[in-house]
């Protein structure tokens, strides 16, 4: 079977990463979570005091971009790659609600996008990759052989994210998580550079009414047909 590129885009907390990880494992492909890269840049900006609820020093962030090095390192115990920011494992820190609350403002900055897209295109140069994000089928790999666009109702997604965060011991309310999910959708779909849109040739998967197993079977079948 020839190796292909699989692009999985969609709204936040639609189960993109769960599906992408499963697919990559089944096909022996590399999995790349591009949201982790935007989250790591956000963590950097927060650590440097460049962004908070009340301010954002965009110029300083752009000037500091060459100091940001992002790397994925496979963790065999977990079975997936973890995010490293300037040599530090930041996998836990980047998943907090605090980072989620700032990340979409960071992802609006074209200079940030250009840096990350370049790195993503290099990672996928040899195909055999499953990449998830918001602009993979439209900007990063417009020629991907298989494109999936995932949706689900905001309430379904907020519940999923709330369950994930509380399982990790984070103190959050369902209302705050719902507000974050809806707020990020709004910024992600309306930004000027690379807004979240379904590529014309993407298959839409609405998982409000499909089980994980059904979704996986459907997408695996599509991947087999394309490969
Ligand atoms: O996928 P995840 O929810 O972790 O992504 C976090 C945020 O990063 C998104 O809400 C979006 O603002 C940004 N993002 C993006 N483009 C991508 C991946 C993520 O703008 N390819």
State the CATH number of the domain containing residue 155: 3.40.50.300
pLDDT one-digit tens code per residue, 123-143: 999 999 999 999 999 999 999
45 touches ligand 1 (CB under 6 Å): no
Q: Going by CA atoms, what residue is nearest to atom 5 of ligand 1?
A: 35
Confidence grade of residue 78 (pLDDT, cut at 50, 70, 90): confident
| Interface predicted TM-score (ipTM) of this complex, two decimals | 0.99
* Beta pairing class for 146-151 and 5-10: parallel
Q: pLDDT tens digit string along 159-213?
A: 999 999 999 999 999 999 999 999 999 999 999 999 999 999 999 998 877 888 9
Instruction: Select from 8, 21, 38, 112 the residue to mutate for testing ligand 1; criterion: most ligand atoms less than 8 Å from CB.
Output: 38
Residue 21 assigned as binding residue? no
Q: List the domain range (segments joined by +) for residue 23.
A: 5-226
**Number of compact structural domains in the chain:** 1
The mean pLDDT value for 202-225 works out to 91
CA-to-CA separations, 4 to 15, 18, 76, 102, in angstroms, rounded: 21, 19, 24, 33
Q: Is the CB of 34 under 6 A from ligand 1?
A: yes
Question: How many angstroms separate the alpha carbon of residue 1 from the centre of ligand 1?
Answer: 31
């Amino acid at each position: 079977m020839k190796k292909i590129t699989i692009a999985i885009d969609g709204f936040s907390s639609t189960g993109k990463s769960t599906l992408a990880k499963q697919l990559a494992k089944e096909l022996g492909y590399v999995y790349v979570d591009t949201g982790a890269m935007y989250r790591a840049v956000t963590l950097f900006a927060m650590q440097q005091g460049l962004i908070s609820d009340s301010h954002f020093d965009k110029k300083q962030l752009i000037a500091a971009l060459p100091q940001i090095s992002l790397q994925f390192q496979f963790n065999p115990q977990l079975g997936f790659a973890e995010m490293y920011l300037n040599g530090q494992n930041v996998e836990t820190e980047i998943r907090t609600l605090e980072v989620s609350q700032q990340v979409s403002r960071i992802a609006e900055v074209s200079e940030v996008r250009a840096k990350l897209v370049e790195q993503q295109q290099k990672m996928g140069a040899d195909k055999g990759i499953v990449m998830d994000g918001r602009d993979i089928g439209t900007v990063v790999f417009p020629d991907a052989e298989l494109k999936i666009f995932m949706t689900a109702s905001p309430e379904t997604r907020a519940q999923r994210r709330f369950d994930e965060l509380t399982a990790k011991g984070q103190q959050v309310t369902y209302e705050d998580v719902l507000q974050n999910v809806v707020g990020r959708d709004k910024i992600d779909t309306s930004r000027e550079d690379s807004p979240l849109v379904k590529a014309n040739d993407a298959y839409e998967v609405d998982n409000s009414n499909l089980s994980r197993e059904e979704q996986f079977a459907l997408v695996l079948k599509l991947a087999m047909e394309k490969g």
